[in-house]
Amino acid sequence: QVQLVESGGGLVQAGGSLRLFCAASGRTFRNNARVGWFRQAPGKEREFVAAVKWSSDTTYYADSVKGRFTISRDLAKNTVALQMNSLKPEDTAIYYCASGLWYSGAPYASASYDRWGQGTQVTVSS
- In this predicted model, what pLDDT tens digit does every residue of 15-31 receive, in sequence order? 999 999 999 988 888 88
Average of per-residue pLDDT across 42-51: 97
Mean pLDDT of 23-45: 92
> What count of other Cβ atoms lies within 10 Å of the Cβ of residue 4?
22
pLDDT at residue 28 in the model: 84
What is the reported pLDDT for 108?
97
Q: How many CB atoms lie within 10 A of CB 85?
A: 14
Q: What is the mean pLDDT of residues 106-119?
A: 96
Average pLDDT on 91-106 reads: 95
What pLDDT is attached to residue 26? 80
End-to-end CA distance of the chain: 40
- Exposure on the CB side of residue 77, measured as CA atoms within 13 A: 9
